[in-house]
Structure 1
Amino acid sequence: MSNVKIVGIERIQKKLKKNVRLDDVKRVVKSNGAEMKQKAKGNAENFKGHYEGKRFVPPTGTLKRSIELAITDKGMTAEVEPHTLYGGYVELGTRKMQAQPYLKPAFDEQKVQFRKDMDKLTR
């Protein structure tokens, strides 16, 4: 979906090599990924539904149920994403439907906690 760049990663990497075991980093990645998944699902509870022509279609919960967490790169990456074809349309909106963001707000909130957790590992 989007790329994230963390500024100052070199300094963190040097500190991590000195002070932290890789298992601790993997634990932080996994726990923050799980928290982000829950936040995204929580955001998905606020969907308003949409119109098909003049007919209002209430949300079914399918998108919320499709949000999953995958741990990749030997535990160094957490991927939270929906497994529906229309997840991006809901997140970003269309010309006929207003955006109803659920992933970006969850990410923006979780990245603050992730940085705090990683900082704790480097002390």
Structure 2
Amino acid sequence: MSVTFSGDKELLNALEKMARTEVYKEVVKKNGAALQRTAQRKAVFKKGYSTGATKRSIKLDLASNGLRAVVKANTDYSGYLEVGTRKMEAQPFMQPAFNEIQPKFIDDLRRAGIVK
């Protein structure tokens, strides 16, 4: 008597994909939190009236079922701080934070075997 299984390769592929997705979610969550902390650390403004509102408003949102991390400063004027205006010099905090975390994120993806 013999037993034949069909579809086992598809099942293994699906399980492998699910495992990679979970690993990817963990990497996204870890690096999203690191980006939030780094942006908060860099959101120190020396000009004008610094109240700390922008720093406190920086939040992490895990979107797309954990496949995407969105870090955002939720003050109405955070964009003006980041890029400046014609009368106010830029005091960037999000772009430098992103530039600091991006290589670590890519390295984590490589170590997890998600990116070559």
Local SS of the residue matching 2:105: helix
**Alpha-carbon deviations, 1:58-91, whole Å to 9, x = none?**
2000000000000001111000011111010000
Identify the match of residue 85 of structure 1 among 54, 76, 83.
76
Question: How far apart are the structure 1 equivalents of 2:41 and 2:69?
Answer: 18
Give ranges in structure 1 of 5+ residues lacking alignment: 1-16, 51-57
Question: Structure with the greater relative contact order (CA < 8 A, sep ≥ 6): 1 or 2?
Answer: 1
Question: How far apart are the structure 1 equivalents of 2:47 and 2:61?
Answer: 27
Matches within 5 A, 1:25-64: 25-45=24-44, 47-50=45-48, 58-64=49-55
User: Which runs of structure 1 show a deviation greater than 3 angstroms over 4 or more consecutive aligned residues?
Assistant: none
Matches within 5 A, 1:110-121: 110-121=101-112
CA RMSD of aligned residues (A): 1.7
* Percent pairwise identity: 43
Counterpart of 2:98 in structure 1 is 107
Alpha-carbon distance, 1:21 to partner: 2.3
Normalising by structure 2, report the TM-score.
0.80
Question: How far apart are the structure 1 equivalents of 2:21 and 2:68?
Answer: 13
| Alignment coverage as a number of residue pairs | 99
Counterpart of 2:59 in structure 1 is 68
Q: Which structure has the larger Rg?
A: 2
Alpha-carbon distance, 1:48 to partner: 1.3
